[in-house]
Amino acid sequence: MNTVNIESSINRISGRRFIAALSLFSALAVVLRASPLRIPAPFAPFLIFEIWEVPIVLALLLLGPKGGYGAGIVVLLLGSALSGGPLPTGQLYNFVAFSSMMAGIIAAKAVYTKLEKILGERRASRAVLATVFGLIVRVGIMAPLMSILLPMPFPLGFSIPARAMPATITSIVLFNSIVSLYTVPLAYAVIDAVTARTKTLSWIALSPSLRIQSKEQAKTGKS
């Protein structure tokens, strides 16, 4: 993108447009959450593969942490009413899962920004790094959390006996890894296509070098 258009692109998704985009992503996530688009994991039928987390990650990539976590909170509040489950606390566990994955994506952006001069602006590298970080943080949080909660009685867990926990945690690690491996790349592919067509600068693509360029361009325009 030319430096002339950087500042206007940064300001484009703010105010009313931010609220409109956040509402759109939140609504899409809620609709997908309530839809029949779900596949039970063959290794653990109680774990369900879905795609409703993709709009939440889209909100993060386009709008930043406020957008991502804002959409996540909306899904958390409406999820219980629209999508039942064996545990009333399941909605909260889902929130922790995708929130930790987004934390990994945010961390990946910070790391990539530090290495920008070495790696250059490579969308594929950025997406791979975000996927790896998102997966590691998500699994790193959900595995120990579930190992504590699942042996507990309802409504926190299923009173799973200790002898069954190793297999259960293995399934949870595999499940959360697979969800990260398709959710983050899919969200990146969509956001790249959308921003390319609309000439909008997404939060995930915004780097310190672009901010510096936009400020220098603004000073040049005023002089």
* Residues 6+ away with beta carbon under 8 Å from 128: none
User: Which pLDDT tens digits describe the chain residue by residue (223 residues)?
Assistant: 444 344 444 445 668 889 999 999 999 999 999 889 999 999 999 899 999 999 999 999 999 999 999 999 999 998 767 656 778 889 999 999 999 999 999 999 999 888 876 666 677 888 999 999 999 999 999 999 999 999 999 999 999 999 999 999 999 999 999 999 999 999 999 999 998 898 888 898 876 544 444 444 444 444 4
The pTM score is: 0.86
Beta strands in the chain (DSSP E): 39-41, 44-49
From the CA atom positions of the chain, what is the Rg in Å? 19
- What architecture is domain 3-222? Orthogonal Bundle (1.10)
CA distances from 133 to 48, 107, 110 (A): 22, 7, 11
Domain regions of the chain by residue span: 3-222
* Residue 84: per-residue pLDDT: 62
CB 29 within 8 A of CB 71: yes
